[in-house]
Amino acid sequence: MTKKSFSRRGFMGSAAMGAAGVSFGSSSSAAAATAFDPVPLERPTSIWDLPTPALLVDEVALEHNLDKMTRFYRSKPAELRPHGKTHKCPIIANKQLERGAIGICSAKVSEAEVMVDAGIESVLITSPVVTPDKIARVVALAKRSLEVAVVVDQAHNVRDYGDAAGAAGVTLKLVVGLDMFGRTGIAMGQPAIDLVATIDKTPHVTFAGLQAYAGHLQHINGWETRNQQSVEAMTRAVETKAAIEKAGFPVPVLTGGGTGTYNMDSEVEGITDVQVGSYLFMDVNYRNIGGKTSAVYDDFRPSLLVLTTAISQPRAGRVTVDAGYKAVAADHEPPALYDIDGVSYGWGGDEHGILQFRNPSRRIEVGDKVLLIASHCDPTVNLYDHFHPYRDEKVTELWPIAARGRSQ
C-alpha cells in the first residue's frame, strides 16, 4: 500500500497575524485580527498564581502524547491526519506536523480559515458545507492552498462546488464521506460509487478519497467490544473503497478513525490515515472507556487541566470552586480531580462546581487552587482564548486558541 496525502505539510510558524476569516456583509468591520503565535509573558509565572478558572496544558504530558502516537504510527502503513477541532490552535497543529502528520482536519470552514491563515496548507474540512456563502469560502481557501479538501456526501453539493470552483478558476479536492453512523455521509456500496462517478465527470473538482469516520465507536466501553465493532465498520469502508476502485476510480485516501480506536484502525489494511484528536489532551470521557490492558484508558496522559479556586465553604464536607458550565464542558461526565483522591466534582451551575469530600488525600480550603482533568476536551478548549502551557509548574507564554468560537 502506498502512503497518500493531499500534500506535504505547509510552511510553518508564519503569518503571525492575519485576517480572521470571512465575515458576512461588512466583513471588515466584523472580523477581528487573530494572533497565532505564542504570547510571551514578562516573567515566568507559577501555575498557582494564575487567575482562575484557567486552561492549562502540561507540556511534558502533551509531548509524551504527541511522541507516543507518532512512534506508534511510524511502523504502520497508515499516516496521521490529526483533527484540529480538538485544539483549535495552529501552534499545536504545527507540533503535529513537525512530527510528520500529513495534514490537519478542521470541522468547519471558519476553523479551516484560521489554519490556512496560520500557514498550514493541507487542511481537510471533515463535514459537508452546503450553503453558497460557505462554498465560496471553501473555494477561496482552495485558491490559497491547493491542498485544501472538503468532505461531500451529496451529488447536488458536488455540482455546486464545480460551479464555484470553475468561476474562481481553481480545481477543488473533494473527499466522499461515507455514512458510518447516520450523522453525515453517503451510504456505502453503490451510492458511494455513484457519487464518485459524479465527481469524476464534474469539471473543476477532483476525487481525492474517502472519509469513514466512525464517531459512534470512539467511546464504546471496553477495548474488545470497541475493537470488534471498529474493525467490522472499517472493513466495510475498505470494501467500498475496493468497489470504487473496481469501478475504475483510484482511491488515494481512506481517512477515518480516532483516539478511541487508534490501535485498531492501525491494523485495518486500506486505511491510509487516521484523524486522531483527543489523544493530545485526553479527558474524563476517554479515560472511562478502558484501554487494551487497563480499566482506565491511559495510553495517553491527561494534559489538559482546568485550574480552579475554592471560593466558599458554606457547609462541612464540601467546598465550592469557581469553575462551572462556562469553564468546563458539561455535555457528559463532570471533570475529575487531577491529583487529589477521595474528592469528586459536582456541577454547581454556570459559574461554580462543588467538590464533595469522601476521604480526601489532601485538604482543600477556601483560597486553595486545585487542578481538574477536563471533562470533554474539545468543547472545554472552545471556552477559552488561551492555553497556559507549563513545565515545572511555570508558565512562560500563552498559546492563542485562534479558532476558538469558529463553529461556522
Residues in 380-399 at the binding interface with a copy of itself, rule: CB under 8 A: 382-386, 395, 398
Supply the minimum distance, in Å, between the C-beta of residue 309 and a copy of itself.
Answer: 6
**Rounded (5°) CA angle 269-193-231:** 30
**Rounded (5°) CA angle 146-148-151:** 135
Closest C-alpha among 407, 405, 359 to residue 34:
405
90-129 footprint of a copy of itself as x/- string (CB under 8 A): -----------------xx-x----------------xxx
Contact call for residue 41 and a copy of itself (CB under 8 A): yes
Supply the minimum distance, in Å, between the C-beta of residue 183 and a copy of itself.
Answer: 6
Contact with a copy of itself (CB under 8 A) among 1, 39, 242, 296: 39
Query: By CB under 8 A, which span of 71-79, 280-288, 295-303, 372-380 interacts with a copy of itself?
Result: 372-380
Contact with a copy of itself (CB under 8 A) among 85, 87, 99, 204: 85
Give 392's DSSP letter.
Answer: T
Q: Which of residues 290-309 bind a copy of itself (CB under 8 A)?
A: 309
Q: With respect to a copy of itself, which residue has the nearer C-beta, 7 or 288?
A: 288
Could you give the C-alpha distances from 310 to 183, 322, 332, in angstroms and in order?
A: 40, 7, 23
Q: How many Å apart are CA 286 and CA 221, to the nearest integer?
A: 9
Distance, C-alpha 191 to centroid of its chain: 28
Q: Which three cell numbers stand for residue 295?
A: 480499566
Torsion, Cα of 377, 383, 389, 392 (10° steps): -80
Q: How many Å apart are CA 179 and CA 152, to the nearest integer?
A: 11
Contact call for residue 81 and a copy of itself (CB under 8 A): no
Q: With respect to a copy of itself, which residue has the nearer C-beta, 200 or 397?
A: 397
Supply the minimum distance, in Å, between the C-beta of residue 399 and a copy of itself.
Answer: 11
Supply the minimum distance, in Å, between the C-beta of residue 156 and a copy of itself.
Answer: 8
Size of the site for a copy of itself (CB under 8 A): 83
326-365 footprint of a copy of itself as x/- string (CB under 8 A): xx-xxx---------------xxxxxx-x-----------
Supply the minimum distance, in Å, between the C-beta of residue 14 and a copy of itself.
Answer: 20
Tell me how crowded residue 382 is: count the other CB atoms within 10 A of its CB: 17
Q: With respect to a copy of itself, which residue has the nearer C-beta, 221 or 294?
A: 221
Q: Which of residues 154-213 bind a copy of itself (CB under 8 A)?
A: 154, 156-157, 177, 179, 182-187
Supply the minimum distance, in Å, between the C-beta of residue 245 and a copy of itself.
Answer: 23
Amino acid at 43: R
Q: With respect to a copy of itself, which residue has the nearer C-beta, 280 or 329?
A: 329
Residue 10 has phi, psi (to 5 degrees) of: -80, 180
Q: Alpha-carbon torsion 133, 7, 12, 95, what sign?
A: positive
Q: With respect to a copy of itself, which residue has the nearer C-beta, 26 or 293?
A: 26
Q: How many Å apart are CA 276 and CA 83, to the nearest integer?
A: 6
Q: How is 321-382 classified by DSSP, letter by letter?
A: ES--TTTS--SSSPPEESS-SSEEEEE-SSS-EEEEESS-SS---TT-EEEEE-SSHHHHHT
Q: With respect to a copy of itself, which residue has the nearer C-beta, 1 or 31?
A: 31
